[in-house]
């Protein structure tokens, strides 16, 4: 129960941030022609910000199911890398079925908090960590869908910035404590800037760009500042 409570406590700020971001998704979904049920069902079965917003645009534009599938595959491919990394920190008693449950809501922010946990990650901790963010994401979507049309467009746009602020709040404290983490963060940011601003890389999609930055920064970090095993100098 202590592990579950620790997870709940760590999940509170994520849930608050998710509520604000999904609120804007709910508004956009209703304006795009989806019902309140469809908007909420999309959120609670996906739990992915970039993927849902991209998928919503394809739906509104009348795209095909194949286009939606390919878009989600590219944008959410990074979750596979995160899940592989998270398995290295999971407790030994976390079997395949428990890992499948954890994988459902292994989002960017939840992954970052889990990896920054001071000891190995247990199944109860992950359940506690993920419950409130899932409720916050679904609840924010419902609130936004119901309030659709009541708020000005400028407010909706401002709400979407909450996700970035939340991400910074998660990464900065860990980076301040570890020079290795700070180095990897800077390398990832540098690669992201290059892929975004250098013209020859403009053909690379956002989803693929995230994967490239993640793999490159992690590989360089592993070479420059490898995690030493117990007993090594």
**pLDDT tens digit sequence for 3-25:** 999 999 999 999 998 998 888 88
pTM, two decimals, is 0.71
pLDDT at 161 over 90: no
**pLDDT tens digit sequence for 29-72:** 888 889 999 999 999 999 988 788 888 888 887 878 887 887 78
Q: Residue 173 CB: number of other CB atoms within 10 A? A: 12
pLDDT number for residue 125: 94
pLDDT number for residue 73: 83
- Arithmetic mean of pLDDT, 188-213: 84
pLDDT number for residue 11: 94
pLDDT at 192 over 60: yes
Cβ 148 vs Cβ 40: under 8 Å: no
Q: How far apart are CA 96 and CA 105, in angstroms?
A: 15
- Using DSSP, state whether 133 is helix, strand or coil: helix
Confidence band (pLDDT; 50, 70, 90) for 133? very high
pLDDT at 203 over 80: yes
Confidence band (pLDDT; 50, 70, 90) for 194? very high
pLDDT at 2 over 80: yes
pLDDT number for residue 10: 93
pLDDT at 229 over 60: no
**pLDDT tens digit sequence for 146-155:** 987 777 777 7
pLDDT number for residue 231: 53
- Arithmetic mean of pLDDT, 193-205: 87
pLDDT number for residue 228: 65
**pLDDT tens digit sequence for 67-123:** 788 778 877 888 888 888 899 899 889 999 999 999 999 998 999 899 888 888 999
Buried b (16+ CB within 10 A) or exposed e, 61-78: eeeeeeebeebbebbbeb
181 phi-psi bin (left φ>0, alpha ψ -120 to 50, beta other): alpha
Q: How far apart are CA 70 and CA 60, in angstroms?
A: 16
């Amino acid at each position: 129960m202590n592990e579950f409570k620790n997870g709940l406590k760590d999940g509170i700020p994520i849930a608050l941030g998710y509520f604000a971001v999904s609120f804007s998704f709910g508004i956009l979904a209703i304006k795009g022609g989806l019902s309140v049920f469809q908007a909420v069902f999309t959120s609670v079965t996906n739990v992915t910000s970039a993927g849902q917003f991209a998928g919503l645009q394809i739906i509104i534009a009348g795209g095909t199911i194949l286009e939606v599938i390919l878009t989600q595959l590219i944008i959410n491919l990074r979750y596979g890398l995160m899940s592989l990394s998270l398995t290295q920190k999971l407790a030994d008693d976390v079997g395949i079925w428990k890992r499948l449950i954890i994988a459902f809501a292994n989002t960017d922010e939840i992954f970052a908090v889990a990896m920054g946990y001071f000891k190995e990650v247990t199944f109860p901790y992950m359940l506690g960590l993920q419950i409130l963010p899932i409720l916050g994401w679904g609840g924010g979507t419902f609130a936004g869908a119901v309030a659709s049309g009541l708020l000005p467009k400028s407010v909706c746009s401002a709400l979407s910035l909450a996700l970035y602020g939340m991400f910074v709040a998660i990464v900065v404290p860990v980076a301040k404590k570890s020079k290795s983490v700070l180095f990897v963060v800077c390398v990832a940011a540098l690669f992201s800037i290059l892929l975004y601003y250098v013209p020859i890389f403009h053909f690379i999609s956002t989803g693929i760009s995230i994967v490239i930055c993640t793999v490159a920064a992690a590989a360089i970090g592993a070479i420059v500042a490898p995690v030493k095993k117990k007993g090594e100098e």
